[in-house]
Structure 1
Amino acid sequence: MNNKLNIDWDDFLTNYWQKKPVILRKAFSHFIDPITPDELAGLAMEEEIESRIVTNKNGNWDAKFGPFDDFSNLGEEHWSLLVQAVDHWHEQAATLVEPFKCIPQWQYEDLMISYATQGAGVGPHIDNYDVFIIQGMGRRRWQVGDRNPNYKQFSAHKALLHVEDYQAIIDEEITSGDILYIPIGFPHNGVSKGESLSYSVGFRTQTSQEMLSGFADYIIDNLPDGIFYQDPNLKLPQDPYRIQPYELTKLQVQIVDLIKTPDLFYDWFGKHITLPMHELNIVPVEPPYEYDEFNSILQTGAELFRVPSIRILKVGDFGYIHGEKIDLPMSVIDILCQNEILSYKHLQNEEARQALLSFVNKGYWYFIDEQ
């Protein structure tokens, strides 16, 4: 599948990224849907895959969560099927993500695919992430409002948070190959005109509060010896019940110094940010390969395929994958990051083959006939 993306990234980042929404007409000039509605429905039947059906019949909103085993009672209008992280499970659909890999990959979340019938959508809402919505078959009308921190949100259903009426700054239909980019915080509403498929490439970062909580857990696990406040130059205060400003400053510095310690923060962030946000199709090898067997298979010309959308990133002097540190030279880590398909020619270093053997046995890479 070779859907070629036509975007002037310098212009886009300068004028639109996290600034304002935009429709990029025919960003994919000859778009071909990489998945069919029936295939999407099949994924929604799987236990491991997150899916939901949203209906808006007669003004009543409802949402049900998969897995699903029957779609026959839904009718022909006013319902949508949404499946998360399709790039983890469908190789052809995952190719849609490739053109967006120039954006920092630690911010990438997943590819969500939506099939909608006539009049269907999920209602007006605000997302906490940036999204490129690629229109596949059919067409949808999108109404996008301006960013405003004072919008009121309400539960149209316990699983659907909607936003009050807003003035649209974009009110247009998009058709096959068009992309609607919506930055975080802009309200929007899409309504299908007949049957349609749309593909949402999402970029999300965690809040500072979430990251601080994660880092605190890491510190507890990795610094077993507590760091106590000490004040060897203590002078008797006039008011011993008042915490002195210099004491508060010392406490703040003590905590901030932990965050500013690269060995701690980088290692936490590398492990933390490469953990998946959704289930992955990881199948450990049973029984695990021995090194000689593994090396022999590679030497015959067999290729190793990285599990689709497993998170592999570089932080400081190390690489990280799926919450683990990759303790290899950066030249080898670059090869692992840049090549989703590996062969013996990529792995001339025995140390690299030994490390990759561990990852293969854990299911992060696989031989095509073994998956």
Structure 2
Amino acid sequence: MDYQLDLDWNDFLQRYWQKRPVIIKRAFKDFKDPLTPDELAGLAMETEVDSRLVSHEDGRWQVSHGPFESFDKLSENNWSLLVQAVDHWHEPSAALMRPFRQLPDWRIDDLMISFAVPGGGVGPHLDQYDVFIIQGQGRRHWRVGEKKALKQHCPHPDLLQVEPFDAIIDEEMEPGDVLYIPPGYPHEGYSLENALNYSVGFRAPSGRELVSGFADYVLAQELGSQRYGDPSLALRPDPAAVLPEEIDALRAMMMDLVQQPEQFNHWFGEFISQSRHELDIAPPEPPYQAGEIYDLLRQGDQLHRLGGLRVLKVGEECYVNGEQIVTQHKQAVAVLASAYAIGGAQFGEALDDPSFLALLTALINSGYWYFKN
């Protein structure tokens, strides 16, 4: 399905993005759910899929993690099933991500879908990332509070909530409505009837993640082998003292690693193009031969990108699932990053280059792109 989001993006970015939460009524006209609650439950039974069931009764919260074998013993109230990265596993649901490509691909993370019965929710909490919540079937009541310091507590080891808050948004959402919540704003939603919700989450790496990831890259690439030196060393009154200029020199050694654009860009491309969740990778059996792929594309068949696959450009280089795509045909590779369905003509003359065709064959045989049957 081709989902059309009725949103003035320039106005939204200026007034709301990372500034204020907002409900956009009827953002999707005549909204149709891409899957049923039964299909979502089926995904939660799969080992590779990240899912959890959250319930509460008389103030007591329970959390259990999938894969689940059955949902037969659940009550009719006060529980919610949440399934992460559904765009990786269910192609019609992945279409819900496309309208949000007005925002950078590298910032978009995944699609979480929840099904809740009346009273179902995960309690008041806050997130450290931006999220768009799309209301599917049913109605859900949402409250969003002001961004301020709130005490957090764990009513269950796997559940982090915040203390009660005053609402600046207090509304019911109906099919097609969209709620945008920036990082740090407390919120809670409870279903008024059986309801589906779709959460488009965004990636916001912390400084800790960046430093850790870059340090791993430095070690793997055997960078930073230069050692500290002090040819101008002079006597000092206190041998136990580390002088400010020595600290500055040590810091400069570390900063020099980060300030190498080629190395930093290459690391970031690998780092940010990796998915945080399992991909539904199914390499073709038997593998394609290059000639077969050439013929299929020339005959009008289209290549389709695997759901959840991250294909990103950093400068002129392109990265897919943590690996750089090395080729001289930059424009042809840019098509892999920009389009979800690709015909042979979009590759231009690159398709007639055996080296590019071999690269494309390897990507397809890795399960990253595929031909629909």
When the two structures are superposed, what TM-score results if normalisation uses the length of structure 2? 0.95
Instruction: Please state how far the C-alpha of 1:238 moved relative to its aligned partner.
Output: 2.4
Instruction: Please state how far the C-alpha of 1:224 moved relative to its aligned partner.
Output: 5.2
The equivalent residue for 1:13 is: 13
Alpha carbons 1:128, 1:204 under 8 Å: kept? no
Alpha carbons 1:3, 1:30 under 8 Å: kept? no
The equivalent residue for 1:152 is: 151
The equivalent residue for 2:184 is: 185
Aligned sequence identity (%):
48
The equivalent residue for 1:163 is: 162
Instruction: Please state how far the C-alpha of 1:33 moved relative to its aligned partner.
Output: 1.1
Instruction: Please state how far the C-alpha of 1:313 moved relative to its aligned partner.
Output: 0.5
Alignment of 1:189-208 (within 5 A): 189-208=188-207
**2:299 is the alignment partner of 1:300:** yes
Return the alpha-carbon distance in structure 2 between the equivalents of residues 110 and 94 of structure 1: 9
Alpha carbons 1:46, 1:67 under 8 Å: kept? yes
Letter matched to residue 362 of structure 1: S
Aligned residues: 368
**2:269 is the alignment partner of 1:270:** yes
The equivalent residue for 2:362 is: 358
Letter matched to residue 357 of structure 2: R
C-alpha distance after superposition, 1:130-176 (max 9, x if no partner): 1000111111111111111x311111111111101111111111111
Gaps of at least 5 residues in structure 2 are: none
Letter matched to residue 48 of structure 1: E
Return the alpha-carbon distance in structure 2 between the equivalents of residues 58 and 238 of structure 1: 69
DSSP 3-state at the match of 1:265: helix
C-alpha distance after superposition, 1:59-99 (max 9, x if no partner): 21101111112111102111111111111111111111110
The equivalent residue for 2:106 is: 106
DSSP 3-state at the match of 2:318: strand
Instruction: Please state how far the C-alpha of 1:286 moved relative to its aligned partner.
Output: 3.9
Alpha carbons 2:141, 2:170 under 8 Å: kept? yes
Query: Structure 1 residues 190, 356: CA separation in 2 closer, same or farther (over 3 Å shift)?
Result: same
Alpha carbons 2:311, 2:319 under 8 Å: kept? yes
Return the alpha-carbon distance in structure 2 between the equivalents of residues 89 and 125 of structure 1: 27
Return the alpha-carbon distance in structure 2 between the equivalents of residues 304 and 270 of structure 1: 23
Letter matched to residue 302 of structure 2: E
Alpha carbons 2:218, 2:224 under 8 Å: kept? no
Query: Structure 1 residues 119, 225: CA separation in 2 closer, same or farther (over 3 Å shift)?
Result: closer
The equivalent residue for 1:121 is: 121
Return the alpha-carbon distance in structure 2 between the equivalents of residues 203 and 74 of structure 1: 31
Letter matched to residue 370 of structure 2: Y
Alignment of 1:237-256 (within 5 A): 237-256=236-255
Query: Structure 1 residues 225, 171: CA separation in 2 closer, same or farther (over 3 Å shift)?
Result: closer
DSSP 3-state at the match of 1:101: helix
Return the alpha-carbon distance in structure 1 between the equivalents of residues 130 and 296 of structure 2: 42
Letter matched to residue 282 of structure 2: V
Return the alpha-carbon distance in structure 1 between the equivalents of residues 28 and 78 of structure 2: 28
Letter matched to residue 79 of structure 1: W
The equivalent residue for 1:97 is: 97
The equivalent residue for 2:319 is: 320
Letter matched to residue 248 of structure 2: T
The equivalent residue for 1:30 is: 30
Return the alpha-carbon distance in structure 1 between the equivalents of residues 7 and 111 of structure 2: 19
Q: CA RMSD in A?
A: 1.4
Return the alpha-carbon distance in structure 2 between the equivalents of residues 362 and 97 of structure 1: 23
Gaps of at least 5 residues in structure 1 are: none
Return the alpha-carbon distance in structure 1 between the equivalents of residues 189 and 171 of structure 2: 10
Return the alpha-carbon distance in structure 2 between the equivalents of residues 241 and 332 of structure 1: 60
When the two structures are superposed, what TM-score results if normalisation uses the length of structure 1? 0.96
Return the alpha-carbon distance in structure 1 between the equivalents of residues 42 and 153 of structure 2: 32
Letter matched to residue 29 of structure 1: K
Letter matched to residue 77 of structure 2: E
Instruction: Please state how far the C-alpha of 1:199 moved relative to its aligned partner.
Output: 0.5
Instruction: Please state how far the C-alpha of 1:317 moved relative to its aligned partner.
Output: 2.1
DSSP 3-state at the match of 1:156: strand
Return the alpha-carbon distance in structure 1 between the equivalents of residues 22 and 340 of structure 2: 31
Segments of 4+ moved more than 4 angstroms: none
Return the alpha-carbon distance in structure 1 between the equivalents of residues 319 and 130 of structure 2: 24
Instruction: Please state how far the C-alpha of 1:11 moved relative to its aligned partner.
Output: 1.1
Return the alpha-carbon distance in structure 1 between the equivalents of residues 49 and 253 of structure 2: 43
Instruction: Please state how far the C-alpha of 1:225 moved relative to its aligned partner.
Output: 6.3
DSSP 3-state at the match of 1:104: coil
Alpha carbons 1:24, 1:178 under 8 Å: kept? yes
C-alpha distance after superposition, 1:8-46 (max 9, x if no partner): 111111111111111111111221111111111111111
Alpha carbons 2:224, 2:257 under 8 Å: kept? no
Return the alpha-carbon distance in structure 2 between the equivalents of residues 9 and 299 of structure 1: 37
Instruction: Please state how far the C-alpha of 1:259 moved relative to its aligned partner.
Output: 0.6
Letter matched to residue 165 of structure 1: P
